[in-house]
Structure 1
Amino acid sequence: MTVSQITTHVLDAQRGVPAPGVGVELSRRSGEGWEPVASGATDADGRAKQLGPERVPGGEYRLRFDTGAYFAASGTDTFYPEVLIGFTVADDGRHYHVPLLLSPFAYSTYRGS
């Protein structure tokens, strides 16, 4: 099992637990918009480790989280049906971990390690 260069971890801040089953899409900006790179869902620990290749070229990337479906599955209303996080990857081979702290009416993110 290989780990992607770009990974994420979604935590349900309202419940204080990982958020399993959140759909995640990774895209890269091209001259014509956003090109899909990979998609998947968070595992039982709220992590997506196999989200794209082991190495990606430098550039602008975006993670799209399907937060609406995640909250709908538990009957929870949410203000954010999706969360988009844009970030820049340097062409140096470093790992990029992009966590999402999520609640129905707020979210935050940071550059993880």
Structure 2
Amino acid sequence: MIIIFIIIGLIIILNVDLPVSSNDYVGKYANRNYNTEICCVEAPHKPDTLTLYKDGSFKSKFYGNGKFAIEGVFNTRIILKYSDFGKDAIYNTYFTNKINEELRIILNADNNHYYEKIK
């Protein structure tokens, strides 16, 4: 019986998102699993690198240059603010920060499409 509780506890611990601090999210992210079925035009479906800077700005081939905001601690959200065809645009998504994975910005959870932190 104790072994079952230990196994369940390990499964829960390995699947819980850890808090994301400002030192964690600043850096470069590579687009992963972008070859899946195109589900939305707001996410890149080709190779892309997203760089988040400490001053709240970002750079990406797909999104261009813009600003981002972070909200929350355990359910950390990221809001990208950029210009699309000369109009203001916003992409609102979230981070996952699991023990056995690199930090990820989820683009489409159903298709496992995300940006993964590379440095």
Fold equivalence (TM over 0.5): no
Say which structure is richer in helix.
Answer: 2
Higher gyration radius (CA): 2
| TM-score normalised over the length of structure 1 | 0.37
Q: TM-score, normalised by structure 2?
A: 0.36
